[in-house]
Amino acid sequence: MKGILRIAIAAAVVFGLVPSRLASAGSLDGKSFAGETGEKGKTKGDKDTLVFTEGRFRSSACDRYGFGDAPYAVRQDGGKTVVTAETTSKKEGTMTWTLTVDGDALTGVTMWKKGTKAPKEYWVKATLKK
């Protein structure tokens, strides 16, 4: 009986009867989003371009702080793509990104953690560059 159940589950996955919840890690590769990143509670932020290339993510606004690119992961959630990444800087710590892509719009938050200081939260709003 267990063997038949395994075969049925495998067939359902192969024939698309069970939707995949995960997108490929590089599914946003080649896309860039232009917008702003700003500190939580503030209405104005810094210009930013969020770039996805070869399975890696980079925020141009963070370049001046020594943050480089980092691998990113994606998953599908109700027709939207949720992106996570963690960028690092030798001097400035880490930034943990959680972004949502819905059509041409990208929104989300990033938490900046530096040493023993309390993390700072930043918002992100951008639009796909065409």
8-state DSSP, 22: B
Per-residue confidence band for 5, with pLDDT thresholds at 50, 70 and 90? very low
Domains in the chain, start-ordered, CATH in brackets? Answer: 21-128 (2.40.160.90)
Tens of pLDDT, residue by residue over 38-63, are: 999 999 999 999 999 999 999 999 99
pTM exceeds cut of 0.95? no
- 3-class DSSP state for residue 11? helix
Is residue 23 a contact partner of residue 76, using CB atoms and an 8 Å limit? yes
pLDDT at residue number 27: 83
Tens of pLDDT, residue by residue over 18-32, are: 333 344 556 899 999
Tens of pLDDT, residue by residue over 69-124, are: 999 999 999 999 999 999 999 999 999 999 999 999 999 999 999 999 999 999 99
**44 φ/ψ angles, rounded to the nearest 5 degrees:** -115, 140
- 3-class DSSP state for residue 68? coil
